[in-house]
């Protein structure tokens, strides 16, 4: 009945939650093992060591997120609709993978990320960077460095979602629409 790779997935799921909640260094292998209901040694059957585990997890979700953003991207549409697509992508991804985006953000500049992880993350940023660059050329987006715009959107969105996760805010459609509008106003060029 259980899927074949259940164990490996259980480990990844538990690791994601714990890394997001406590951070990499404060999460011990026994904690992950207990949460995943596997023996501690089992983790090492699937991942050579703790760093490989965290990098695997990081790359997995970064890739998934990138694909979610790229899927059905409205190439020919107006910039507002494209922004909506990206923002909805963030929301949908966060809803589907509870702790993933928060985990990504809080571990983005961690000392233990390997070259591959950093590169994958670079690819992810590129989506936003391209969007902003084109938007600036057309005069639709504020003339600020794309990196800065990304930071504002990303930083704001994730800080917000942390509140939702913690339960201090509820993710109503209304709130999310309002936040999207707020973020859009943060980056769009006001004439």
Partner DNA sequence: CATGAATGAGATTTCATTCAT
Partner DNA sequence: TATGAATGAAATCTCATTCAT
Binding footprint of DNA on the chain (CB under 7 A): 4, 6-7, 27-30, 33, 37-42, 44-46, 48-51
Nearer CB in complex with DNA: 46/184? 46
Question: What 3-state DSSP class applies to 141?
Answer: strand
Q: Is residue 131 near a copy of itself by the rule CB under 8 A?
A: no
CB of 49 to DNA, least distance (A): 3
Smallest gap, in angstroms, from Cβ of residue 125 to a copy of itself?
Answer: 11
* Binding segment (CB under 8 A) for a copy of itself, from list 43-51, 85-93, 131-139, 150-158: 150-158
Q: How far is CA 75 from the centre of its chain?
A: 22
Six token digits for residue 27 = 């999460």
Smallest distance from DNA to CB 22, Å: 10
| 147 sits near a copy of itself (criterion: CB under 8 A) | yes
* Angle value at C-alpha 153, between 185 and 21, nearest 5 degrees: 140
Segment 10 to 69, residues that bind a copy of itself, using CB under 8 A: 22-26
Q: Which does 50 bind (CB under 5 to 8 A by kind): DNA, a copy of itself, none?
A: DNA
Helix (H, G, I), strand (E, B) or coil at 110: coil
| 149 in contact with a copy of itself (CB under 8 A) | yes
Angle at 155 between CA 18 and CA 125, to 5 degrees: 90
The residues, any chain, with a CB within 8 Å of residue 36's CB and separated by 6 or more, are 7, 10, 11, 13, 14, 15, 43
Q: How crowded is residue 25: how many other Cβ atoms within 10 Å of its Cβ?
A: 11
What does the block give as tokens for 52? Answer: 């490989």
Q: Which does 44 bind (CB under 5 to 8 A by kind): DNA, a copy of itself, none?
A: DNA
């Amino acid at each position: 009945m259980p899927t074949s790779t259940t164990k490996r997935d259980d480990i990844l799921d538990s690791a994601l939650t714990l890394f997001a909640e406590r951070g990499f260094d404060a999460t011990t292998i026994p904690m992950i093992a207990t949460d995943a209901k596997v023996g501690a040694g089992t983790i090492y059957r699937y991942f050579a060591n703790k760093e490989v585990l965290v990098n695997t997890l990081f790359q997995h979700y970064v890739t998934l997120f990138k694909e979610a953003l790229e899927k059905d991207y409205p190439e020919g549409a107006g910039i507002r609709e494209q922004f909506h697509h990206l923002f909805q992508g963030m929301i949908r991804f966060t809803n589907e993978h509870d702790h993933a985006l928060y985990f990504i953000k809080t571990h983005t500049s961690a000392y233990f990320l390997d070259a591959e992880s950093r590169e994958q993350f670079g690819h992810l940023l590129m989506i936003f960077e391209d969007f902003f660059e084109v938007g600036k050329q057309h005069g639709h987006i504020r003339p600020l460095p794309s990196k800065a715009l990304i930071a504002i959107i990303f930083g704001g969105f994730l800080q917000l979602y942390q509140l939702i996760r913690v339960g201090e805010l509820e993710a109503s459609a209304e709130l999310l629409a309002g936040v999207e509008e707020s973020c859009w106003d943060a980056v769009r060029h006001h004439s």
